[in-house]
Structure formats: C-alpha cells, structure tokens
Amino acid sequence: MTAHSLSPDVLDALEGAVGRNGLTAEPAGMAKYLGDWAGDYRGGALAVLRPASVAEVQASMRLCGALGLGVIPQGGNTGLVSGAIDTNGAGMVVVSLERLNAIRQIDPENFTLQTDAGCVLQTIKDASEAQDCLFPLALGAQGSCQIGGNAASNAGGVNVLRYGMARDLILGLEVVLADGELWNGFSGLRKNNSGYDLKQLFIGSEGTLGIITGVEVRLFPKPARTETAYLGLASFEAAIALFNRARRDCCDLISAFEIIGSECIELARLIDPAVTEPVSAPVQVLIELSSGPTIDLNGVLAGFLGDAMKKGLVSDAVLATSGAQAKTFWAIREGLVEGQAKRGYHVRTDLSVRISDMPALIERARRFVALEHRGWIPLAYGHAGDGNIHFNVLPPLALGESEARSRGAEVTAGLYDIAVNLGGSISAEHGIGRSRRREFWDGLSPTHRRMVTALKTAFDPNGMMNPGCLLPSTETFS
Ligand SMILES: Cc1cc2nc3c(=O)[nH]c(=O)nc-3n(C[C@H](O)[C@H](O)[C@H](O)COP(=O)(O)OP(=O)(O)OC[C@H]3O[C@@H](n4cnc5c(N)ncnc54)[C@H](O)[C@@H]3O)c2cc1C
C-alpha cells in the first residue's frame, strides 16, 4: 500500500486533526521517517502525522481508531530494533512527536523536570545543567533521540551503573491511550506506593500500549568533579576482575565502566581517522568517577589504578588531565558505533548476562564465529559494568549484501543461543522492536504470554498500537 491509498477525504480528515503543517503524505516528505538509523531497513507509511499539541495527539488517535489505521509512534527514530518503522510497508500511520518538544517545568529544589515527550534528550540534559542539576541518562544518540522514545524503549546508556535505566529515572508519564483518552500520571513524588505503578507498564512498551506525550524525570546534583581514565588490559577476565575491584574500592563513585575490544578501534577511525589508541592492549576500559566537591576524586582513582597495576590487572593507564582529553576517550567509544553503521550491514546484538559470565560469553561467541563463520569479524564492546555486551559481527567485505544478511541471521541465532544458554537475555537495553519479536515471543512461557496478551488487549483492544512491534502480530498472540 502506498501513500496514495488514502482517499482525499481521509487526508482532509487527518489534516483536520493535526493542521496543514502536521500532515505529510508525499513520499519525499515522508522519507526521513521511514528508514532506520543503521540503514538496515526502509519501511513505508500511508502518512506521517506531526501533532503539535497533546490535543492533536488525541484527535489523531481518535481518527486513526475510527478509520481502522495502525499507528506507529515515533520519537527521534534512533532505535536499533526497527520499532519505529513499519518494515513491511504494510500501510500504517507514523505519529512523530517531534513538534511536541517544549520543556514544561524545572524544579531544582525538588530535583524534577517535566517535559513534552518529543523533547530531545540533549536539550533536557542542557536545561538541567543550567540549573546546576544532572539528568544522567547518557547515550550516543542523545543529540537526536527524544525523552518519549527513551521512556518507550527503557533506554540504558553509559551511566546505568550509577543511576539506573530510564525506568529508574522517570517519576511520571502523561499518555494518550489508544481510544484518544488522556492519562495524566504526573505527581512529582518520589514515593507513591498506591496501587499498580501504571507508568512502569508504558516504560519499555515500545509504543504498543499508548502514545507518551509528557515525561517527568528525576534530576540529581550536578557532579562538581569528574575523573576519567583509559586503561589497557590483557583479557576480558582481567576487565571483569578489575570491575569487581573498582566496585569495592571506589564504591558508588563509579559512573561508567565501558569495555572496548581493541578490534573496535578501526571502526572509530572510520568516523575520525585521527583517532589514536590511548593505550595499546587487546582489551581496553574507559572508567569514569564523579562526585561532589569535597572528595579527592583524583586521589581515589590514582590510588585504585596504582593498586590494580601492582596486582597485574592493568597493563597501561592514561588519566585524562582535562575535560578535552576525557572527550577524546569518549569519542572512541561513540565513534565505533557510528563506524559500524558506516561500514554497512553487520550483525548487531545487545546481550546481557550475569557480570561474572561475561568472559565466558565472549569466549564462546568468538569460538562460534571462528569455527562456523570463517572470515567474519567479531567485535565486543559495551556497558560491562551492567553485564551488557554488544557482541557484533562484521561480514567479509567481499560478501554481497543479500548473502551477508541471510548468513547474518544464522550468526545472530547462534549468538542468541549462547547468551540464553548462559541464562542471559537477547535484549539488555535496545528492546525487541520488529527485529527480535520472534525470538522474544518464542522464549516466553505460556503463563508469561497470557499476561502479556491480557495487558495488550486491555490497553489496545483493536490492536492499533504499533502492530507487529514487540509482539509477532495482532493475530498470533496465542
Ligand atoms: C549511536 C547510537 C547509540 C545508542 N546507544 C544506546 C545506548 O547506549 N543505550 C540504549 O539503550 N540505546 C541506545 N541507542 C538506541 C536508541 O537511541 C534508544 O533506544 C533511544 O531510547 C530511542 O529513542 P528515540 O526517540 O530515537 O525512539 P524511536 O527510535 O523513535 O522509537 C523507539 C521505540 O519507542 C516507540 N516510541 C517512540 N516515541 C514514543 C512515544 N512518545 N510514545 C510511545 N512510544 C514511542 C517507538 O514506536 C519505538 O518502538 C543508541 C542508538 C544510536 C543510534
């Protein structure tokens, strides 16, 4: 079905809901809403609606419900599991939140912020900082992803270790339900133990239960001090041993502990050829500590690292002497993700295991690729402090794209098996979307499926919310 499947009457009605500036139904205008960030998929849509107010979101939902149109909520479209695009091009309407983007209120005394859901994460972080506060959600896509998308995907990122995932940072939500009704779940309260915590159902629901139009988040005092170091280690086992040591010696001062296999550095160079390795070692770790003004943070980090070097856990270490140098360390971590997308199609995973099982996961995954997919290049990096590894695999450059994709599906299945056999999860933080819905559904017990189906049916009885995302499809729930 194409955009031209909508009759002029329906287009007029949609324009009535969101105004002339809020409706796009021409292929050229819709193009940027229909492809995913990684370039893996191009989808289709009947139209893109861009409501500029909560009332326009409500009108859109009522109209789409009456017309029997499926709705795909879309934030910054930076998701990595095709949740915000219709990969089949089967004829749904994308509702983009990008025009609903104002910060509504910041309360530095209560450490809370209320915002429209379409506000870009970086804007929220900047506004918080201007009030001497910190909103700690931090991820490579923060310049484009929206807080509503972060809530809907329960985003993680580099500071989960200290501050938790989006789920832990959200105090309240405002949601337009499938029938157009508005639920205001803002309270400003940190403790509110009265009945079901409904906001938690929408967090991580990936647009399948309603459209989030407003988000209320927790803020924290802005750390006065931050220390960053880039370390070289001999192995992933050493990295996990170091993390355990760091947890005990530095306690909650650690705000990030990222692991980077040295094979990833080449990818960061695809984005910035000037990137140099701060240390030369097979496994590298980016560690960040942050605190208030009264703690000798540099002394804590230097003491910890000196001890780790004496014990032979760390072979080389560079402590950033300025914020600018720390940024160059982070540029490696962020650049390698973009570098993979630039290189082209690749197998992308987001595995989670118990922290102590991470070396086994990486070792088994590498052996599997070496034995069964000769010539493919494994990469391992991730938020190791959370037991979250992105074990990605690059196809040989000589392989044609369609063969790479079909072989890639086998590689992915093998990696999922390895994680599941270790008692892990196939989605640590990116979600299920359309890319992992089959594996997700197949892995659920009958009881779990029954509860998921009951929830979906209660909130979205006609199956109009993001059909085909998270759940296999509206017809095959059972
Ligand atoms: C370079 C890069 C680095 C990344 N790093 C991380 C990382 O470290 N950790 C991490 O967790 N993720 C990461 N991601 C993935 C992605 O940025 C996050 O999942 C992000 O939270 C998605 O936000 P978005 O606004 O782009 O949502 P979208 O991609 O637009 O949508 C994601 C899902 O949420 C739904 N949705 C969006 N907005 C709403 C709404 N208002 N109401 C209801 N449903 C909605 C969509 O339907 C879709 O299912 C990264 C992505 C990139 C490109």
Cα 399 from Cα 374, distance rounded (Å): 12
Beta bridge partners of 233: 283
478 pLDDT more than 50: no
The residue whose CA is least distant from atom 37 of ligand 1 is 149
At residue 364 the predicted structure's pLDDT band, cuts being 50, 70 and 90, is very high
Q: What sign results for the dihedral spanned by CA atoms 349, 353, 356, 359?
A: negative
What residue ranges in 50-102 does DSSP mark as E strands? 71-74, 93-96
473 pLDDT more than 80: no
Pocket probe for ligand 1: among 145, 212, 336, the residue whose CB has the most ligand atoms within 8 Å is 145
At residue 3 the predicted structure's pLDDT band, cuts being 50, 70 and 90, is very low
**Closest ligand 1 atom to 165 CA:** 11
pLDDT digits (tens, 9 = 90+) for 118-167: 999 999 999 999 999 999 999 999 999 999 999 999 999 999 999 999 99
The residue whose CA is least distant from atom 28 of ligand 1 is 77
Please state the rounded mean pLDDT for residues 16-20. 97
258 pLDDT more than 60: yes
Pocket probe for ligand 1: among 86, 139, 435, the residue whose CB has the most ligand atoms within 8 Å is 139
What is the overall mean pLDDT for the chain? 94
Cα 386 from Cα 404, distance rounded (Å): 30
Q: Do residues 171 and 214 touch, judged by C-beta distance below 8 A? A: no
Total-model pTM: 0.95
Share above pLDDT 70 across residues of the chain, in percent, rounded to a whole number: 98
Compute the distance from residue 466 Cα to the ligand 1 centre, in Å. Answer: 14
Q: Do residues 218 and 169 touch, judged by C-beta distance below 8 A? A: yes
Please state the rounded mean pLDDT for residues 268-291. 95
Compute the distance from residue 155 Cα to the ligand 1 centre, in Å. Answer: 7
Q: Do residues 157 and 129 touch, judged by C-beta distance below 8 A? A: no
What residue ranges in 234-330 does DSSP mark as E strands? 254-261, 283-291, 316-319
475 pLDDT more than 60: no
Name which of 157, 161, 164, 127 is nearest 142 in CA terms.
157
**Region at 180 (left for phi over 0; alpha for psi -120 to 50; beta for the rest):** left
Helix (H) or strand (E) holding 106: strand 103-107
At residue 477 the predicted structure's pLDDT band, cuts being 50, 70 and 90, is very low
The residue whose CA is least distant from atom 33 of ligand 1 is 206
pLDDT at 74: 98
469 pLDDT more than 50: yes
283-291 vs 254-261, strand pairing mode? antiparallel
Residue 187 has φ and ψ, to the nearest 5°, of: -140, -20
The residue whose CA is least distant from atom 3 of ligand 1 is 140
Contacts of residue 126, defined as CB under 8 A and 6 or more positions apart, other chains included, come to: none
pLDDT at 5: 77
Compute the distance from residue 37 Cα to the ligand 1 centre, in Å. Answer: 10
133-134 vs 220-221, strand pairing mode? antiparallel
Pocket residues for ligand 1 (CB within 6 Å)? 37, 72-80, 83-84, 97, 117, 139-141, 145-146, 148-150, 152-153, 155-157, 206-207, 211-212, 337-338, 429-430, 433, 466, 469
At residue 472 the predicted structure's pLDDT band, cuts being 50, 70 and 90, is confident
Helix axes 358-372, 401-421, angle to 10 degrees: 140
